[in-house]
Amino acid sequence: MSDYLFHRNAEDRELGRLRLIEAAVDADTIGLLEDTGVSGGWRCLELGAGAGSIAEWLGTRVGPEGLVVAVDRKASYLRRFSSSPYRVVEGDFRTLTLDGTVDLLHARYVLIHNRQDEELLTKIRNVVKPGGYAVLEEPDFTSALRLNPCGDEADRRVNEAICRMFTDAGLDPAYGLALPRKAEDAGFEILGARAAMHLCPGDAPIARVMAKSALVLRQEYTGTGVATDEDLDRYVAHAGDARRWSVYYSTVSIIARVR
Ligand X SMILES: C[S@@+](CC[C@H](N)C(=O)[O-])C[C@H]1O[C@@H](n2cnc3c(N)ncnc32)[C@H](O)[C@@H]1O
Least separation, in Å, of the C-beta of 112 and ligand X?
A: 8
- Quick one: which segment of 56-64, 66-74, 167-175, 246-254 binds ligand X (CB under 6 A)? 66-74
Residues 113-152, interacting with ligand X (CB under 6 A): 113-114, 120
- Quick one: which segment of 34-42, 86-94, 159-167, 248-256 binds ligand X (CB under 6 A)? 86-94
- Determine if 72 is a binding residue for ligand X (CB under 6 A): yes
Pairing status of strand 128-140 against strand 67-72: unpaired
**Tally of CB atoms within 10 A around 166:** 21
Q: Which of 20, 33, 104, 110 binds ligand X (CB under 6 A)?
A: 110
Least separation, in Å, of the C-beta of 125 and ligand X?
A: 15
**Tally of CB atoms within 10 A around 17:** 22
**Tally of CB atoms within 10 A around 108:** 25
Concatenate the DSSP letters of all residues of 172-213 into one string. -TTHHHHHHHHHHHTTEEEEEEEEEEEEEETTSHHHHHHHHH
Least separation, in Å, of the C-beta of 201 and ligand X?
A: 22
Burial 190-215 (b: 16+ CB within 10 A, else e): beeeeebebbbebebbbbbbbbbbbb
For 54, how many CA atoms within 13 A lie in the half-sphere containing its CB? 36
CA distances from 71 to 49, 85, 86, 221 (A): 6, 14, 11, 29
Distance, C-alpha 175 to centroid of its chain: 11
Cα–Cα distance, 249 to 84 (Å, whole number): 36
Q: Which of 24, 50, 102, 258 binds ligand X (CB under 6 A)?
A: 50
- Determine if 250 is a binding residue for ligand X (CB under 6 A): no
Residues 1-40, interacting with ligand X (CB under 6 A): 4, 18, 21-22
Q: Which of 8, 13, 80, 94 binds ligand X (CB under 6 A)?
A: 94
> Is the separation of the CB atoms in 134 and 179 below 8 Å?
no
- Determine if 180 is a binding residue for ligand X (CB under 6 A): no
- Determine if 160 is a binding residue for ligand X (CB under 6 A): no
- Quick one: which segment of 108-116, 125-133, 205-213, 249-257 binds ligand X (CB under 6 A)? 108-116
- Quick one: which segment of 34-42, 69-77, 127-135, 190-198 binds ligand X (CB under 6 A)? 69-77
Q: Which of 48, 66, 132, 173 binds ligand X (CB under 6 A)?
A: 48
Q: What are the residues binding ligand X (CB under 6 A)?
A: 4, 18, 21-22, 48, 50, 71-74, 92-94, 108-110, 113-114, 120
